[in-house]
Chains A and B, each alone.
Chain A
Amino acid sequence: MKLSNLLVLATDRQADRIVPPTGYTVRLTLFTAASLAFLAVFALALSLATSRVATQWSDALARSSTIRISAPQDQMAAQVAAVESILQTTPGISEFRVLSNEEQAALLEPWLGAGIPIDALPVPALIEVIEAGDGFAAEGLRLRLEAEAPDAVLDDHTRWRQPLVEAAGGLRLLGLLSLLLIGCATAAMITLAAQAALAANKQVIEVLRLVGARDSYIAGAFMRRFTNRAALGATVGAAAGVIAITLLPGTRTSESFLTDLSFEGLGWITPIFVPPVVAVLALLATRHAAARVLKGLP
Chain B
Amino acid sequence: MIELDNVAYSYGNGPALLSDVSLKLAPGSFHFLTGPSGAGKTTLLKLCYKDLQPTLGHVRFFGVDGPELSRDAVASLRLKIGVVHQDCQFLDHLSVAENIALPLTVSGRPISASDLDDLLGWVGLSDQAMQYPQELSGGERQRAALARAVMTAPDIILADEPTGNVDWDMSLRLLSLLVELNKMGKTVLIATHDLSLIRASKSQVSTRVLRITGGRLTLAGADL
How many residues belonging to A are interface residues under a CB distance threshold of 8 Å? 22
Q: Determine the chain A residues whose CB is within 8 A of the CB of B76 once the complex forms.
A: 212
Q: Determine the chain A residues whose CB is within 8 A of the CB of B77 once the complex forms.
A: 212
Q: Determine the chain A residues whose CB is within 8 A of the CB of B83 once the complex forms.
A: 210
A14 near B105 with CB under 8 A, answer: yes
What's the Cα separation between A213 and B91 when bound, in Å? 14
A215 near B72 with CB under 8 A, answer: yes
Query: Is B75 part of the binding interface, using a Cβ–Cβ cutoff of 8 Å?
Result: yes
Query: Is B212 part of the binding interface, using a Cβ–Cβ cutoff of 8 Å?
Result: no
Q: A18-B91, A20-B91, A21-B93 are in contact. Are A212 and B51 (CB under 8 A)?
A: no
What is the interface residue range for chain B against chain A? Answer: 20 to 34
A213 near B106 with CB under 8 A, answer: yes
CB-CB nearest in chain A for B79: A212
Q: Determine the chain B residues whose CB is within 8 A of the CB of A17 once the complex forms.
A: 93-94, 98
A214 near B75 with CB under 8 A, answer: yes
Q: Determine the chain A residues whose CB is within 8 A of the CB of B98 once the complex forms.
A: 17
B148 near A211 with CB under 8 A, answer: yes
What's the Cα separation between A294 and B50 when bound, in Å? 15
Across the interface, B106 reaches (CB within 8 A) one of A217, A294, A298, namely A217
Binds B, one of A32-40, A129-137, A149-157, A201-209: A201-209
Query: Is B102 part of the binding interface, using a Cβ–Cβ cutoff of 8 Å?
Result: yes
| Nearest CB on A from B102, distance (A) | 5
A212 near B72 with CB under 8 A, answer: no
A207 near B50 with CB under 8 A, answer: no
A215 near B71 with CB under 8 A, answer: yes
What's the Cα separation between A18 and B94 when bound, in Å? 8
B103 near A211 with CB under 8 A, answer: yes
Query: Is B89 part of the binding interface, using a Cβ–Cβ cutoff of 8 Å?
Result: yes
Query: Is B195 part of the binding interface, using a Cβ–Cβ cutoff of 8 Å?
Result: no
B91 near A207 with CB under 8 A, answer: yes
B91 near A298 with CB under 8 A, answer: no
Fill in one digit per residue for B86-125: 1 if any A CB lies within 8 Å of its CB, else 0.
Answer: 0001111110001000110111100000000000000000
The residues in B between 99 and 156 inclusive whose CB is less than 8 angstroms from any CB of A are 102-103, 105-108, 148, 152
A213 near B94 with CB under 8 A, answer: no
Query: Is B208 part of the binding interface, using a Cβ–Cβ cutoff of 8 Å?
Result: no
Query: Is A15 part of the binding interface, using a Cβ–Cβ cutoff of 8 Å?
Result: yes
| Nearest CB on B from A147, distance (A) | 85
A212 near B103 with CB under 8 A, answer: yes
A207 near B107 with CB under 8 A, answer: no
The residues in A between 1 and 43 inclusive whose CB is less than 8 angstroms from any CB of B are 12, 14-15, 17-18, 20-21
What's the Cα separation between A87 and B122 when bound, in Å? 104
A212 near B71 with CB under 8 A, answer: no
The residues in A between 195 and 240 inclusive whose CB is less than 8 angstroms from any CB of B are 204, 206-217
B51 near A210 with CB under 8 A, answer: yes
B106 near A18 with CB under 8 A, answer: yes
B53 near A212 with CB under 8 A, answer: no
Q: Determine the chain B residues whose CB is within 8 A of the CB of A211 once the complex forms.
A: 78, 89, 102-103, 106, 148
Q: A15-B105, A298-B50 are in contact. Are A210 and B89 (CB under 8 A)?
A: yes
The residues in B between 66 and 86 inclusive whose CB is less than 8 angstroms from any CB of A are 71-72, 74-79, 83, 85
15 more A-B residue pairs beyond the given contacts A18-B106, A213-B106, A214-B72, with a C-beta to C-beta distance below 8 A: A14-B105, A15-B105, A18-B102, A18-B105, A207-B89, A207-B102, A209-B75, A210-B51, A212-B106, A214-B75, A215-B71, A216-B72, A217-B106, A298-B50, A298-B53
23 pairs, CB–CB < 8 Å, chain A vs chain B: A12-B108, A15-B106, A17-B98, A18-B106, A20-B93, A21-B93, A204-B91, A208-B102, A210-B51, A210-B78, A210-B85, A210-B89, A211-B78, A211-B89, A211-B102, A212-B76, A212-B107, A212-B152, A214-B72, A217-B106, A298-B50, A298-B53, A298-B74
